[in-house]
Structure 1
């Protein structure tokens, strides 16, 4: 386990999956990050690469070959190497291997860079580099979960979401685990959005961000404690919790990619919202977390 710490917060990061494992606010002696209770969801904040969501039949085709890959890709279960560690920065790296190329036939370098500011804001930056001799195709995302409620005095329904810009966003609709591109609806963020489990009956709430900056705040009804995610350039934001159980967490997920559509062909190069990266080029994704 690796740590970033200052007067405000203490952050723990696991080299397995480059996964955040703790965001502890010292002033309130409160753990904000979901602690991977497997009764509900056994992860904290996995990194999603080289896909986001699920593939139809958990497989895809590229250049005449078929490959198997499970939901959200393999990065979350691989060991990252620590490239740099300082008082306010940790840089972790995953490079392709014979094992990854059995699932994903590309040479890549995937860095996750964590920075901690004096204010306690935690920055997360993704850098995907194409070290192959051909164009590579990929999805990318974060999946941090947060303890909601944050105290025994509160319940899940005592919290709400506030979004900036406060406008009506296009909401993507899932049919099972797959995207139904023929269906969209509006998500009215001109007012606060109270958390209710019924709103997650059909899985995640997915907002189309079109790479525009957004701030998503989770806050209690007394406006005292919560979390702000500042997402710089993601394509989508997923908001998710378990519907069928009283799971005391919520995930706010910046995505640079999305699940297969219901009519996906299985061809990786044709996958909806897939990113492509030229030889030697880099792709950047960035967001931050502020707890209060």
Structure 2
């Protein structure tokens, strides 16, 4: 089911399947969100839960039992229920069930609220531990944006850049696809905007460790008056990714990360996990701002 949110600045469409945003248009009908061309990548903005990235061999061990789970978890492929809806706001929920318990042995509720405030689409993600035991999970956003912006001048991919604010040096978590390598962490200087090139992503995503209360990523071009800003609060990691030679870039706030290539596979020891006590909740927030 498709849900439409609208105000004077934005027209947004969200699919209850995966609680996935599928369209973000401004008042002049410019489409900013990637339209899931399967030639490159057939998704728009999936919700990553209860893991971010890939488990080693798509498996993990928990309490002496082995479970299997695919990349980025299962929420992106499940139907959410609408529990509240207005013209500019919707709240959707996913609950654990007999199928999720076979691959993820935790009782949970995942509640996602999307709402419009002026030229901002805000996403509030809340994880609630409904079980009696401590819950282990990761969560993240994965929005992809058209590059160049559709109908916006005659830009090329290389005309665009991503500025990371605060402008500073970050730890870059290297990938040996599809896993990370914690023994090869290096520094990346992002005091100046990062110029986009297709070969930037030939070795998979660029992932930074974030140690800021708030991080802002601005996608822009010197040839365009338009830009897209993604702002996340208390995200542990931030990722940039694009499929090979694809006309988009993902700006991804993550509260979790893929397995290290040398992981033991024991879920309790997984890097990037959040731990949630019984009946407690965890909130992760980010927004997408369209500036024109």
Q: Does 1:213 align with 2:214?
A: yes
Which residue is 2:135 aligned to?
Answer: 136
SS of the residue aligned with 2:158? helix
Specify every segment of 5 or more residues in structure 1 that has no aligned partner in the other structure, as ranges. none
Which residue is 1:258 aligned to?
Answer: 257
Distance between the aligned counterparts of 2:23 and 2:95, measured in 1?
A: 25
Distance between the aligned counterparts of 2:179 and 2:38, measured in 1?
A: 24
Which residue is 2:120 aligned to?
Answer: 121
Q: How does 1:1-292 map to 2 (within 5 A)?
A: 1-27=2-28, 29-117=29-117, 119-151=118-150, 153-210=154-211, 212-243=213-244, 246-292=245-291
In the TM superposition, structure 1's runs of 4+ consecutive aligned residues that sit over 3 Å from their partners are: none
Distance between the aligned counterparts of 2:278 and 2:93, measured in 1?
A: 19
> For the Cα contact (< 8 Å) 2:155–2:223, is it kept in 1?
no
Distance between the aligned counterparts of 1:22 and 1:223, measured in 2?
A: 21
Give the total of aligned pairs: 288
Q: Normalising by the residue count of structure 1, what TM-score does the alignment of the two structures yield?
A: 0.96
SS of the residue aligned with 2:100? helix
Distance between the aligned counterparts of 1:163 and 1:71, measured in 2?
A: 26
Let me know the Cα RMSD of the aligned residues.
1.0
Specify every segment of 5 or more residues in structure 2 that has no aligned partner in the other structure, as ranges. none
Distance between the aligned counterparts of 1:220 and 1:151, measured in 2?
A: 13
Relative to structure 2, which stretch is displaced further, 128-137 or 83-92? 83-92
Q: CA deviation at 1:127?
A: 0.2
> For the Cα contact (< 8 Å) 1:79–1:94, is it kept in 2?
yes
Distance between the aligned counterparts of 2:280 and 2:262, measured in 1?
A: 31
Q: Deviation per CA, 1:106-160, whole angstroms, max 9, x where unpaired? A: 000001110100x220100110000001001001000000011114511111101
